[in-house]
């Protein structure tokens, strides 16, 4: 068995990786599969839960991951290009610029940049997973449009309305929204969420497959109703520059 200088850390990462992309798994199953004492496993699970990286589902009586560990070295030089794009977008628009990558369960936030001037109000932190089901905001909508499994029309989806209330979507509405997002390659939230944030996002492609999603997170400002088309164009141009071996044509929103 391989030895580590920080065995507790290694076990924690092992547990987190085991819970990735799985339905809720109970303590006994985790300890058995990872050949770990139940007492040690429970302490690790409690610590990961306290850090917000996993959660316990009381109905299924099991644990599931809220974040995913992802290698950032798959495309040499690409990470630096993404960070450069995020920095440029944040400074040019005054909004938080975010980078999400596809995950089995949703779109994972792996990088973000804040404008040098302005108050930070966007709560989503690196490691946050926007699940494919549930709130069908702009990033999740694009993720559903471009993932191989497609959208699950049997699941429950909702969006925020103009009063900040959740509005459940019909299967037909979900199909239309996701379908248009796939054709356009870009989407914008019409209304602000409960945290006073709305997003505009554009897909980034690598050989016509989703490499990730660029997003601008806009904080609520009194009197702001329409999406800023100048910022949208900046976002699309950044997505085009990051895309590789793709001839996809974005449709203006």
pTM for the structure as a whole: 0.70
Q: Which domains does the chain have, with CATH numbers?
A: 7-65 (1.10.10.10), 78-242 (3.30.450.40)
Q: What is the pLDDT of residues 164-179, one digit of tens each?
A: 889 999 999 999 999 9
Q: What is the pLDDT of residues 26-55, one digit of tens each?
A: 999 999 888 889 999 999 999 999 888 899
pLDDT at position 75, please? 53
- Whole-number Å distance between alpha carbons of 111 and 207: 22
For 192: left if phi > 0, alpha if psi spans -120 to 50, otherwise beta; the answer is: beta
pLDDT at position 70, please? 60
228 or 13, which is more confident: 13
Q: What is the pLDDT of residues 223-253, one digit of tens each?
A: 666 777 889 999 999 999 999 888 889 987 6
C-alpha pair distances (Å), 6 with each of 2, 107, 198: 12, 30, 41
Average pLDDT over residues 219-224: 72
Between 90-104, 105-119, 139-153, the lowest mean confidence (pLDDT) is in: 105-119
Burial 182-216 (b: 16+ CB within 10 A, else e): bebbbbbbebbbeeebbbbbbbbbbeeebbbbbbb
Provide the terminal-to-terminal Cα distance of the chain, rounded to the nearest Å.
55
Instruction: Indicate if the pLDDT at residue 204 is higher than 80.
Output: yes
- Whole-number Å distance between alpha carbons of 61 and 116: 44
Average pLDDT over the chain reads 86
Nearest to 158 by CA among 172, 174, 144: 174
* Tokens representing residue 154 in the block: 């049997």
């Amino acid at each position: 068995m391989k030895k580590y200088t920080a065995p507790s850390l290694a076990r924690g990462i092992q547990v987190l990786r085991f819970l990735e992309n799985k339905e809720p798994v109970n303590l006994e199953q985790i300890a058995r599969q990872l050949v770990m004492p139940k007492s040690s496993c429970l302490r690790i699970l409690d610590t990961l839960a306290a850090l917000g990286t996993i959660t316990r589902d009381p109905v299924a009586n099991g644990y599931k991951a809220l974040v995913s560990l992802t290698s950032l070295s798959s495309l040499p030089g690409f990470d630096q290009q993404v960070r450069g794009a995020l920095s440029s977008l944040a400074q040019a628009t005054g909004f938080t610029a975010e980078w999400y990558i596809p995950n089995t369960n949703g779109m994972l936030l792996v990088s973000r940049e804040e404008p040098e001037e302005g108050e930070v109000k966007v709560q989503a932190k690196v490691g946050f997973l926007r699940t494919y089901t549930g709130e069908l905001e702009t990033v999740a909508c694009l993720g559903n449009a471009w993932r191989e499994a497609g959208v699950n029309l049997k699941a429950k989806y909702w969006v925020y309305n103009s009063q900040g209330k959740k509005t459940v979507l019909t299967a037909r509405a979900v199909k239309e929204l996701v379908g248009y997002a796939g054709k356009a390659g870009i989407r914008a939230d019409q209304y602000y969420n409960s945290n006073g944030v709305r997003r505009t996002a554009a897909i980034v492609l690598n050989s016509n497959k989703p490499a990730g999603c660029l997003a601008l997170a806009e904080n609520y400002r009194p009197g702001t109703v329409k999406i800023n088309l100048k910022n949208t164009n900046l976002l699309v141009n950044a997505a085009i520059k990051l895309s590789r071996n793709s001839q996809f044509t974005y449709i203006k929103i």
